[in-house]
Amino acid sequence: MNVKRDSEPVRRIQIDAMRGGEFRSHSDLVVVEEPLEIRLARTAEPGPGRAISVTMRTPGHDVELAVGFLHGEGLIRSREDVASARLCGPASNVVRVELKVGVPMDLARLERNFYTSSSCGVCGKASLEAVNEMLPIRSVASTNKVSAELLGSLVVRARSAQDVFRDTGGLHASSLFDGSGDLLATYEDVGRHNALDKLIGARLLEGALPLSECVLLLSGRASFELLQKAAAAGVPVVAAVGAPSSLAIDLAERTGILLIGFLRDASFNVYTHRERLQ
């Protein structure tokens, strides 16, 4: 697969900082935020392909982001569905993903605007049924259990791998652990959904899905869409530093995910499937 590396995720700028009652000029690192267009095509199809999404992201692992997004939307299921994925465009801000022959290009799956906004008024069990009609929600197939002690160690372990956050303080992260608490991967992005798409896309390209023996740590809150992506990837345990939404809790309950919120060292809340705790 042809993968071109991305541009830098940080930029150095000059700022004026108020310190001790006076301004001091010095350089600082900020997170880069740029648009990425995702295009979809069939194998050997001429032309640029079909533009299906534009997301504001932090450059880095753009191909993985695009593949993870398509997996979360149900357009691809495994590494075998992807013929190629590459960066293109004059600024390398377009990812073109080609599907193998025989893989359906069901773009109707992207038409889910009824829950894309947190203020759209869609809530509760009825909305889960509506979403399930467009994108079937399956239970995770796993008997994986974790200990409270392991959960309490995840934030510190993940933070050690968040290089850009350490430099800028301005990123979300999604971190994946195995059942022993060993860190498998961490991906950062200005958007929480993008960080998880990068992680899942990378594992898909490695042929490592489903993630049925893994634990996912989210650096912020646990929204419905993040839980939907986790469930699609087969993750049985999701822990978040922030709070879960009501619809995320409903989805975790339905799919068999142990959902943890407000994770702070040994302190956390259990929202669903406590039986997965040892």
CATH at 236: 3.40.140.10
Q: How many domains does the chain have?
A: 1
**What pTM was estimated for this model as a whole?**
0.86
Tokens of 123: 């809530």
In a domain, residue 230? The reply is yes
In a domain, residue 128? The reply is yes
What's the one-letter identity of residue 184?
Answer: L
In a domain, residue 48? The reply is no
What H or E segment, with its residue span, contains residue 66?
helix 62-72
In a domain, residue 213? The reply is yes
Tokens of 76: 């691809």
Instruction: Output the CA angle 161-202-46, nearest 5 degrees.
Output: 140
Please give the Cα distance from 91 to 89 (Å, whole number).
Answer: 5
Q: Which of the residues are catalytic?
A: 120
In a domain, residue 70? The reply is no
Query: Which pLDDT value is given to residue 5?
Result: 44
What H or E segment, with its residue span, contains residue 236?
none
Please give the Cα distance from 166 to 181 (Å, whole number).
Answer: 22
Pairing type for strands 267-272 and 237-240 reads unpaired
- Whether pLDDT at 196 is above 70: yes
Q: How confident is the model at residue 244 (pLDDT cuts 50, 70, 90)?
A: very high
Cis peptide preceding 210, ω within 30 of 0: yes
Query: Which pLDDT value is given to residue 118?
Result: 35
In a domain, residue 56? The reply is no
Domain range spanning residue 165? 121-276
- Whether pLDDT at 278 is above 70: yes
